[in-house]
Structure formats: structure tokens, C-alpha cells
Structure 1
């Protein structure tokens, strides 16, 4: 079946938050009791609360493109207690990235946007609600308007608020959010071996595979733009690992997850994720069922699909990635240091690379502290 990129984004953007909103409106319309809008309040600040709704746990999944973030996000999205938002910066990036300084501006606006979402404050997010409404209309093929009141009420009724983003490479930017004592924030830091990550990213963006033949006339296989991205990826993920595991603000609210561990043992991964957010049981009828249906598939549905045989897929790159390219990736920027710190082994030769029985992943260099046992796989 041909892959439809727009349907992917629509499906995942609607995977939790909008489905909860639409389901609530359709199934339980009388139970919704809307407070007045911000403009209806006496002081005009009713919706601009500086604290999230009481008792909520806020979850921020920080990842990069092609690191399995959609899969990990779905482990939360399929829980009815979770108000899950897939890539709230997607529309924002499209609006701002084309202007000078757009990338930095997108990061700054997105950080403020995330804080507002964690407070269920949609006062200044009408552009985002219009985008969600448009996605809903495309999916449902009908008129659908998600208002500020509807989004706020449904958000406030959820026990957990989870946001997944690939648009904040530097976790230090999150520290001001984490330092707010009123915000019960949990940060999930998701990484992937840089070798398959950059190869998968190149394929996703160019629809071509990285190969020695493609760049036969150069001493390097890796294109400059991919090299630049890879350098940033390794630099910030190494720094993020250090910040999360050592910074007093974050270290008790930080969880490090490798894509490879989630692919090999998704059940253990989801149990650790839910323990990390202080939820004792994983919903069997929704989350565990989703894992069963989406990690043992014989046929993948597309490049961006989360339905696949996850155990078989995570090592498939070893069959196709040129050995010379694997070594080149290891030598970019701080990638070698990142790999050592996070338990990724360097390839010795092509025989080692192609032999699936020889591991390329081991234990991360951990800080031995019982309070932080959830950090490591």
C-alpha cells in the first residue's frame, strides 16, 4: 500500500488529545461544564494560571527525527488517562523556519507553548487549535472546531499530560520549566545509535539510501548537511545525558531510554516508563494490546509507521550500511564519545558489522545510585 505522508501526521497528531476531545464531545456532551473564557472573567486572567491543574504529572519526551519517538509516544497515547500531544511544534516550524533566525525563534516559542499546554492554558494558542481543527476535519471529512474551552476542559480532566517533540535538541533549555516547583515534570530522553539514525533520516528526507556508490567520487560518503546534523545530534545528546543524570533539578525526574532497548523488549520499557511516572500498572486493554499488535507485524505499512516487527528492525541497518560509512559516522564530532557513554560499540571490521550474533550495544556508563535506578536499561 503506498505511503501517504499527510495521513501519517494526521493520524499521530490526533492519536490521543483530539480523539479524547472528540470522544468526550460525542459520547458525554452533558458532562462538560465550561468555565467562562478568559475575556469573561473579571480580571481577564482566569485562564492564565501559573500552575498546572492539581495532581497532574507532565511528561516531556525529548527525541530526534528517526529515533523511535512516535513508537515511544504511542505507549502513552494509548492510555485514556493521558492527554498526549504529538509534535505541537510541527505547524509552528512550518510557519517560522523559513524566516531568518526561524529555528531559534521556533525553539523559544515552542518552549513557551509547552509550558502553556502543561498548564492546560490555550489562551494564546488559537493558531494551534485551528491547526488541530483542520487536521480533525481532514480526518473526519467534515466540519470540526476545537475551541479553547473544549481543549481546556478535556486537558484538565486528564491525569497525565504528555508531549513529544523532536524540535528541542538542547535539554538545558528545559531546565527553567523543570525548576518550576509547581510543575510535576518528568523528562524522557530518547536516543538511538547515530549510525542507523542518520541513515534512516537521510532516507526519510531524500528517499535515497546512503551508499558508497552514491558518493564514489569523494573521500566521504556522508553529505555535508547530514554531517552537520549528526554533529549536533551527538553533541547535544551527550550533553543532555550528563545534564539529566547529574543536574540536581532534573536527575530524579529524568529517564534515559534507548530506542534499541524499546525495540528488543517493549514490555519492559513500558513498565519502566509507567513506573517512572508513578503509575503502578500498564493498562492491558489499551497499551499492552497496542504493543502486541504493533511489534509483531510481518509487513511494515510505511517508512513512518509504528507497526513493524520491532526486534527484527532495530538491527536491519547492519545488513545494508557500508562499513566505511559506519566508521565515518563514528568519527563525526563527539559521536564516538556519545556512543561510549551510552553503551554503543564501535564496529571493528565489516565481518563484525554483518554478524548479527555479535552485539553493538551494551550497558551505558551509569551512575550507581539506587534513587536513579530507572535511568538505565
Structure 2
């Protein structure tokens, strides 16, 4: 049977109509449960008021401490390293960095709209009926340990340990977690798995997300010193240097990834391209450690978030801890923050510091970190290596 050209056009129009209806049904899903027009408007208005904040950091840069500042706020839905699941799942099957970063962008876009079910494709073992006990450090998020997700603790409780959360709350219901996310006006995520800010340009240009980026940096010399202790297998040559007291002969002046990534990302951020203008703030860990309350006030004001008393109380309790910091506490946030930010100066030899600041010279200058000139200068903690840095983020 032969179809006339009119029939073909008609079929094409029907196909387009069906596709349009499908797209409309998907994009309006968030409002499909509204019982009346006013309620739909209220939901849309709340969505438009949400603050979406992504903390970009590097491992051992103080990001766990920094993320907890937001986690203490009762109107913040905070997620700790959600991209860990994506990277873990895809690293075993794909060596293409761009594929992993692309999947990470898609997951972030969904999570910022409170669709936590998207994580199910990457969590191992795969959740059953949206229930899982495999979310990385679930207890680092108070929103995942309090109502409506878990009734074991009150939302007003200030101190809930990760161990208590895991013991009392049981399996995580990702559907209830999505509801908890929807109920809060601020969605904050922290990741060390996005190397440079340009990777998430698509998200920053998405008007639906109202996304802002906080780039947390730390003196690379301090980062390397901390990583050598926490991840010794990744720094064998530097560890050998520290143990033997002399530089290994085959250690050349190779690039250090954290220095390269910081330089690229911060250079982009400070140049304020149109797609990033008004959406980027640079925070040095040392500034935060020296004046935690003042710096937190500045950050929250920039983001348009009120400084809740729970945040103030947490800062006072977790930045004045005294005593020796044990290697067993590498992920702890409770310590003398000012002393910890400078502790690397007593752990690295002057020769090691000279090597690092030669390799990372450009980014040290960009971020306002002074070069050490002698061993005496290195260990004199009364001499600050952090220059004043005034930056406008408007």
C-alpha cells in the first residue's frame, strides 16, 4: 500500500505533537502534583529562590571543614562528595576523563534539582526500592540524618556524629532524601572531583540552577605535606626524600597537578568571564583558619544565606581544639584551625619546600603565598606566608 504525501505529513505532525507532549510532561513533573493554580505558583516561586552552591576544592585543602560550615545551617541541604560514586563506578570501566566529567555534570544538574535517585545508577551495590547503606559518608550530612529522612534525631540537634547517624538511622531512603532537599532553600555540595571551574560552565549558564561556585584553595606546599601523610603511596619520591634527608636523583621538576589545576581554575575565575561573573568566589583556607567567624560571615553574606546560630556555635567548638593532631584524625574537623593551617612548615625540610615552590611558583604568586627564603624563615611561625588579598567578586 502506498502512502500519499499528505498522509506522510500528517504522520510527521502527529509524531512532533507526541514528542512535544512528552517533553512538556517531563519538564513540568515538579509541578504535576499541584492541587490548584496558587500552589503551583508557590512551588515555582520557591524553586526560583533556591540557592545552589558548589564548593570546588582539592583533597587535603580543608574542604571537609569548610563544607561543615554549611552543613550546620538548618536551611541547607548539604551533600559530601556525591561525585565519588560516579568516579568510582566509571573509573573501573572507562579511562576517558571527559566521559567521567560529562557524567559528573549530568549528576550535579540532577542533584541540584533534588533528584537523588540519579545516584542509584552509580551506587554499588545497586539500591533496592530506593534504599541503600552505601552512600559515601552519609553521616557527614545532617539533612540525611534528621527528619524527614530519619526520625532518630531532631532537626534542632547540633551535634550528631557520623557513627550515631549510621547506627540509629539505618538504610538511607533516597526518596525521602529528595524530599528533604526540596524542603530547604539552600542546596550545597562539596567536591574534589571537578579539577577546574570551566568544566561546569554549562551548569553555570543554566538559568534554572541559579548556581554559584566557591573555590577553596590552600597553599600547595601545605596540601602536598598533608597528602604525603594521608596518601603515602601516591608520593613515594617525596616520602623517600623525607626519610633519607636528601633529594632523590631521579626526581625532576615535573608538574604537580594540584598547582596546574589551581592556576587554571583561579585564573579563569579572577578574569570574570561573562558566564562566571557574579557567580564565583575564591576562598583561601588560611584566611578561613585565621579568622573563621569573620570569614564565614563574609562568605554567607555573599551567598545571601543568613548566619544561623548553629553555625556560630559549631565554629567556636571546632576551631579552638588543642593538643596533638593524630594521623588517625585526618578527616576530622575539630582542631586548632590556625595552627593546623601552618603545621606543614614544621613537617617539610627547607629543600623540599624550595622544590615545591619552584614547581608551583606561578600559582603561589597568583594566590598570594610568599616564597620561603631560608630554613629559619620556614620554621618561624610568627612570620606569615600569606599576603593580604583583596578581591572583588561583583
TM-score class, shorter-chain normalisation, is 0.7 to 0.9
Is the aligned partner of 1:218 residue 2:245? no
Aligned twin of 1:6: none
Residue 170 of structure 1 deviates from its aligned partner by 1.6
Is the aligned partner of 1:177 residue 2:203? yes
Aligned twin of 1:297: 321
Gaps of 5+ in 1: 1-40, 373-377
Residue 174 of structure 1 deviates from its aligned partner by 1.2
Q: Per the alignment, in what secondary structure is the counterpart of residue 49 of structure 2?
A: coil
Aligned twin of 1:203: 229
Aligned twin of 2:366: 341
Question: How far apart in 2 are the matches of 1:319 and 1:217?
Answer: 18
Residue 122 of structure 1 deviates from its aligned partner by 3.5
Aligned twin of 1:15: none
Structure 1 residues 151 and 142, CA, compared in 2 at 3 Å: closer, same or farther?
A: closer
Question: How far apart in 2 are the matches of 1:313 and 1:275?
Answer: 26
Q: Is the 8 A contact 1:263 1:310 kept in 2?
A: yes
Q: Is the 8 A contact 1:61 1:164 kept in 2?
A: yes
Aligned twin of 1:258: 284
Residue 100 of structure 1 deviates from its aligned partner by 4.0
Q: TM-score, normalised by structure 2?
A: 0.73
Aligned twin of 2:85: 91
Range moving further from structure 2, 133-142 or 162-171: 133-142
Residue 143 of structure 1 deviates from its aligned partner by 4.4
**Deviation per residue, 1:244-298 (Å, 9 max, x gap):** 122122131111000101111110121011111112x3111x1111111111112
Q: Is the 8 A contact 1:69 1:190 kept in 2?
A: yes
Structure 1 residues 294 and 121, CA, compared in 2 at 3 Å: closer, same or farther?
A: same
**Deviation per residue, 1:40-76 (Å, 9 max, x gap):** x994665489x99231000000000000001110010
Residue 166 of structure 1 deviates from its aligned partner by 0.1
Residue 141 of structure 1 deviates from its aligned partner by 6.3
Matches within 5 A, 1:136-151: 139-140=166-167, 143-148=170-175, 150-151=176-177
Question: How far apart in 1 are the matches of 2:57 and 2:380?
Answer: 29
Question: How far apart in 2 are the matches of 1:256 and 1:217?
Answer: 34
Q: 1:61 aligns with which of 52, 55, 58?
A: 55
User: Highest Rg: 1 or 2?
Assistant: 2
Question: How far apart in 2 are the matches of 1:47 and 1:202?
Answer: 48
Q: Is the 8 A contact 2:89 2:122 kept in 1?
A: no
Q: Per the alignment, in what secondary structure is the counterpart of residue 187 of structure 1?
A: strand
Question: How far apart in 2 are the matches of 1:260 and 1:363?
Answer: 11
Aligned twin of 1:282: 307
Aligned-residue CA RMSD (Å): 2.9
Q: Is the 8 A contact 1:66 1:201 kept in 2?
A: yes
Structure 1 residues 96 and 329, CA, compared in 2 at 3 Å: closer, same or farther?
A: same
Q: Is the 8 A contact 1:262 1:269 kept in 2?
A: yes
Residue 105 of structure 1 deviates from its aligned partner by 3.0
Q: Per the alignment, in what secondary structure is the counterpart of residue 331 of structure 1?
A: helix
Gaps of 5+ in 2: 1-22, 32-43, 140-162
Q: Is the 8 A contact 1:344 1:361 kept in 2?
A: yes
Aligned twin of 1:321: 348
Residue 112 of structure 1 deviates from its aligned partner by 0.9
Q: Is the 8 A contact 2:52 2:210 kept in 1?
A: yes
Matches within 5 A, 1:32-111: 43=25, 47=29, 53-101=47-95, 103-111=97-105
Q: Is the 8 A contact 2:58 2:217 kept in 1?
A: yes
Structure 1 residues 206 and 44, CA, compared in 2 at 3 Å: closer, same or farther?
A: same
Q: Is the 8 A contact 1:48 1:121 kept in 2?
A: no
Q: Is the 8 A contact 1:215 1:221 kept in 2?
A: no
Q: Is the 8 A contact 1:133 1:146 kept in 2?
A: no
Aligned twin of 2:383: 358
Residue 363 of structure 1 deviates from its aligned partner by 2.3
Q: Per the alignment, in what secondary structure is the counterpart of residue 213 of structure 2?
A: strand
Aligned twin of 1:166: 192
Question: How far apart in 2 are the matches of 1:255 and 1:277?
Answer: 9
Q: Is the 8 A contact 2:132 2:171 kept in 1?
A: no
Range moving further from structure 2, 85-94 or 198-207: 198-207
Residue 117 of structure 1 deviates from its aligned partner by 0.7
Residue 99 of structure 1 deviates from its aligned partner by 3.4
Structure 1 residues 220 and 66, CA, compared in 2 at 3 Å: closer, same or farther?
A: farther
Residue 121 of structure 1 deviates from its aligned partner by 2.4
Q: TM-score, normalised by structure 1?
A: 0.76
